[in-house]
Structure 1
Amino acid sequence: MRHFTTADLNKHIGDVTDAARRSPVFITHHRKPRFVLMSIDDYNALRRQQTDDHRQAFTLDTIPDDVADGLIALADQYDREDGKDG
């Protein structure tokens, strides 16, 4: 990924936006990445990826009852199937 400084962004906006049109670029400030500039098409693709992913993480303290019940049912089914092989 290409890197530009905030000074580059101010002085050479055309070069920076041309690069961002091809692929996302880092904008750095004091040598640390602070922003990412990308085309709207890349941004929309990223948003679609995020909305298509419905995974969630829980701890034992925060797991919803329906998820816990489903996991217990799967574990019971696994135990029953494992017992048939033994």
Structure 2
Amino acid sequence: MKITVLNIAYHRNGIAGMPFHAVVFRDAGEEASVKIGVLFEHSHHCAVLDIAKLADCDVEFGSNSWRGDVYEPHLRKAAAKFEKARAEGVAQ
């Protein structure tokens, strides 16, 4: 699978929520579109949604649901790269 990261940010999620990375990316292949991945610290805690479908208020399972387990390794790699650059003070 090939993804192209368009934007990435780290969110504290308030003072009591679980922090997460939000990754906007474009994927290739049959279901190619711009998606957002929400990636929490623990493995297997990943949600992926199509942004255009979100704009149409579509959050239905089966319509705007994507295999987080398929995207997760690629998103975690992008988050690690982002964190490394952030620690080194390098702008993304």
Greater Rg, structure 1 or structure 2?
Answer: 1
TM-score (norm 1): 0.27
TM-score (norm 2): 0.26
The structure richer in strand per residue is 2
Structure showing the higher helix proportion among its residues: 1
